[in-house]
Amino acid sequence: MMTLTLAWRNLWRNRRRTLITLIAMSFSLMLVQGFHNLSFGVYAQMIDNGVRAGSGHISIYRGDYAVSRDDRLTFVPADLPQKIAALPGVDGVVERLYLPALAQSSRESRGILLTGIDPTAEGLVNPLLRRLDLPALLPSADGRDALIGSRLLQELRLEIGQKFVVTAQGADGELASELLFVRGTVESGIRNIDRSLVMVGRQRAALLAGRPDAVHEIAIMLNRPDESGAVLQRVRALLPPGDLQAIPWDAAMPNLANAIKLDYASQKFIFLVIVAIVSIGVVNTLLMAVMERLPEFGLLLALGASPWRLRAMVLCEALLLGLIAMLLGSALGSLLTWYLTDVGIDLRRFLPESMEFGGVIFDPVLRATWDFEYMLRMAILMPLLAALAAFYPANRAARTAPAVAMRNS
Amino acid sequence: MSLIALRNVTKIYTSGSQHIAALSELSLFIKAGDFAVLAGPSGSGKTTILNMVGALDRPTEGAIAVDGVNYDDLSSRQLADFRLHRIGFIFQSYNLIPVLTAAENAEFTLLLQGIAPAERRARIDELFERLDIAELKNRRPGELSGGQQQRVAIARAIAPKPAVILADEPTANLDSHTAAELLNLMRELNEKEGVTFLFSSHDPQVIAHAKRVVRLRDGQLENDVRQPL
């Protein structure tokens, strides 16, 4: 108890120095917590947008379709989507068929990706189609109505209501063509999508491919993405024997997953630099405090204190410093996160309205999401870091030669 | 049998290529209950003897034993433990811990000894009454006069009931009246409780209060006399 009392009072001998160190530590913790939560929120939003427009939180493919995109790897889902939709934690299930094809208007032709969708189900989950009245634009799954990317519309020099022809290779290897009508446009903000997307009812696409009822992908959306591991197991249990595979979103969309990993790795490096600077500050503060008090350490040794007690005293000072920084920094980190969650950072003044990252559009108003586990981990790191930084100063105190220190008092 | 025994002790300090002999083959024996002063000019070796008797420093040659314990055989950890239980220190500049109150300073060595809080407090209360500083218990050293600080230092030194108290120029920073008061107090502790004191001083007032005066010059014994009081 006396060690703790001594450590606490020693800490406040030089108030200004202690306060400056505390502020540096607390602000660092605030920045690390706040900006991690911002990244966490932005990544979560990007993943959500990405998976809803793309593979879903969980996807089912035949064979290695996720990697090879071999359009022969179709399958007939039968009642699998209904069974999956009934699983706990599942928000929505959509089936899609993808066909590389050629679109021709009376003036131009372009390579496209024809996507066959179930308009009603797709409209509920796909953020690209959220603003469109899908049942009105694509009233049936086998109709000739089509939605096309905004750039493609310009490049084919088409207008709403006009017709165009799509040609694709059928299951038998022969080319097949279908006449379609432009009913609406899709503007994702992603150049590749906007210049190659054509969406039609799934049955119309399947007829063109010569594979009635077939799909390439079942995309499953979840209520809570953090439950994807458990739901994935349940989905796998429903799959019939064969080469159907259920995979998580990061395996189905490696570009997005890798872009996020790379971005977060660079942030972690910055966090590491912040932590290193803080550690140097703590070492400096404690070392100055120890060097100033060498005669006093000599006195304590002369009175019979063991070197270990002196080590414990300096470590105790560091731990107290770390604990205060932990509480203060977490309070500031929570305030910053609250602000970033509620108000966010609006980039619209600096950047174009839609921004692409890893093939996904994200909101230019960046908003944080609470990651309590990470905040707690970083908070606990503060006293540990302070104790680690105190290691050298504590040893320096313990190695004091009492006679020399007393002579210099 | 001597409480303190220095046999042929030599202490050489090295500074760069220079070797300075602070003590040369000095032998000295102090009995239990003595009230002795090491007198002599600066550089005569007074503080060196106190440091070595107090197990703060080791001799270059020779042997030192206090209360039957030979320092040669002890590790630095054991020396710390020895100091804690057998040696009390009083310093010229008091050397109280500035962030602790007077009572906490006096209690510090008892705490290191692992004595229970209630017993610690009882012993400190009694000592502070005897030393006439009971009302100063909760003051920090910065709020005390030199004489008051030295009384607290005496309380700290005698609280753990050591075998010997080593006092390095204890009155050097005090006025003559306060110095006389403290010397009488220490003499009283010596006579009533048999506490052994070994001083270093060149203050005539301290020398006049001592039962035994050991004069040193250039690290050697000049004379050793007992004086009537």
Do residue A406 and residue B91 have CB atoms under 8 angstroms apart?
A: yes
Do residue A307 and residue B99 have CB atoms under 8 angstroms apart?
A: no
Query: Is B112 part of a structural domain of the chain?
Result: yes
Which CATH number belongs to the domain containing residue B54 in this structure? Answer: 3.40.50.300
Do residue A304 and residue B80 have CB atoms under 8 angstroms apart?
A: yes
A306 neighbourhood in chain B, CB within 8 Å = 77, 80-81
ipTM score above 0.90: no
Residue ranges with strand state E in A227-279: 244-248
CA of A20, closest CA in chain B: separation in Å? 21
**A342-378 as b/e: b if 16+ CB within 10 A:** eebeeeeeeeeeebbbbbbbbbbebbbbebeeebeeb
Question: What gap in Å lies between CA A207 and CA A21, rounded to an integer?
Answer: 71
Cβ atoms of residues B4 and B164 within 8 Å: yes
Task: Compare all CA atoms of chain A with the CA of B48 and give the residue at the minimum distance.
Answer: A403
CA of B226, closest CA in chain A: separation in Å? 30
Interface size A-B, in CB pairs within 8 Å, comes to: 63
Mean pLDDT value across chain A: 87
For the stretch A74-108, pLDDT in tens is 999 889 999 999 999 898 899 999 999 999 988 88
Query: Is B3 part of a structural domain of the chain?
Result: no
Query: Is B7 part of a structural domain of the chain?
Result: no
The three-point CA angle A286-A291-A297 to 5° equals: 100
Length of chain B (residues)? 229
Q: How confident is the model at residue A404 (pLDDT cuts 50, 70, 90)?
A: low
Do residue B112 and residue A309 have CB atoms under 8 angstroms apart?
A: yes
Length of chain A (residues)? 409
B47 neighbourhood in chain A, CB within 8 Å = 407
A296 neighbourhood in chain B, CB within 8 Å = 97
- Which pLDDT value is given to residue A19? 92
Q: Look at the alpha carbons of B101, B107, B112, B118 in this order and tell me if their dihedral is positive or negative.
A: negative
For the stretch B199-211, pLDDT in tens is 999 888 889 989 9
Do residue A304 and residue B85 have CB atoms under 8 angstroms apart?
A: yes
Do residue A304 and residue B84 have CB atoms under 8 angstroms apart?
A: yes
pLDDT in single tens digits along all 229 residues of chain B: 789 999 999 999 888 888 888 999 999 999 999 999 999 988 899 999 999 999 888 899 999 999 888 888 788 788 888 999 999 999 888 889 998 999 999 999 999 999 999 999 999 999 999 888 999 999 999 999 998 999 999 999 989 889 899 999 888 888 888 888 888 888 888 988 888 999 999 888 889 989 999 999 999 999 999 887 6
**Mean of pLDDT values over A185-197:** 83
Which of A304, A305, A409 faces B95 most closely, judged by CB atoms?
A409
- Which pLDDT value is given to residue A271? 85
For the stretch A209-250, pLDDT in tens is 888 889 999 999 898 888 888 999 999 999 888 889 999 988
CA of A328, closest CA in chain B: separation in Å? 25
Task: Compare all CA atoms of chain A with the CA of B85 and give the residue at the minimum distance.
Answer: A304
**Mean of pLDDT values over A105-126:** 88
Do residue A409 and residue B51 have CB atoms under 8 angstroms apart?
A: no
Do residue B80 and residue A301 have CB atoms under 8 angstroms apart?
A: yes
Give A143's DSSP letter: S
Query: Is B25 part of a structural domain of the chain?
Result: no
CA of A312, closest CA in chain B: separation in Å? 13
Question: What gap in Å lies between CA A68 and CA B143, rounded to an integer?
Answer: 83
Question: What gap in Å lies between CA B5 and CA B196, rounded to an integer?
Answer: 14
Do residue A10 and residue B99 have CB atoms under 8 angstroms apart?
A: yes
Query: Is B23 part of a structural domain of the chain?
Result: no
Cβ atoms of residues A145 and A200 within 8 Å: yes
- Which pLDDT value is given to residue A325? 93
Q: Is B92 an 8 Å CB contact of chain A?
A: no
Q: Is B80 an 8 Å CB contact of chain A?
A: yes
Q: How confident is the model at residue A353 (pLDDT cuts 50, 70, 90)?
A: low
Task: Compare all CA atoms of chain A with the CA of B112 and give the residue at the minimum distance.
Answer: A305
Query: Is B1 part of a structural domain of the chain?
Result: no
Do residue A406 and residue B95 have CB atoms under 8 angstroms apart?
A: yes
pTM for this predicted structure: 0.72
Query: For testing the chain B interface, which of A292, A297, A406, A409 should be mutated: the one with the most B CBs within 10 Å?
Result: A406
What is the span of the domain harbouring residue B117?
Answer: 33-61+74-226
Which is nearest to A344 in space by CA: A370, A372, A368? A368
Q: Look at the alpha carbons of B73, B78, B83, B86 in this order and tell me if their dihedral is positive or negative.
A: negative
CA of B187, closest CA in chain A: separation in Å? 22
Task: Compare all CA atoms of chain A with the CA of B99 and give the residue at the minimum distance.
Answer: A9
Task: Compare all CA atoms of chain B with the CA of A405 and give the residue at the minimum distance.
Answer: B56
For the stretch B32-85, pLDDT in tens is 999 999 999 888 999 999 999 998 888 999 999 998 888 887 887 888 889 999
For the stretch A243-296, pLDDT in tens is 899 999 888 888 888 888 888 888 888 888 888 888 888 888 888 888 888 888
Give A240's DSSP letter: P
The three-point CA angle B37-B38-B44 to 5° equals: 160
Q: Is B205 an 8 Å CB contact of chain A?
A: no
Query: Is B10 part of a structural domain of the chain?
Result: no
Output the DSSP codes for B197-229: EEEEE--HHHHHH-SEEEEEETTEEEEEEE---
Residue ranges with strand state E in A141-222: 145-149, 163-169, 175-186, 197-201, 217-222
Tell me what percent of chain A is helix, strand and coil, each rounded to the nearest 5: 55, 20, 25
Q: Which positions 123-182 of B are in contact with A (Cβ < 8 Å)?
A: 156
Do residue A302 and residue B99 have CB atoms under 8 angstroms apart?
A: no
Output the DSSP codes for A181-202: EEEEEE--S-HHHHTTEEEEEH
Do residue B104 and residue A303 have CB atoms under 8 angstroms apart?
A: no
Domain count of chain B? 1
Cβ atoms of residues B140 and B101 within 8 Å: yes
Q: Is B94 an 8 Å CB contact of chain A?
A: no
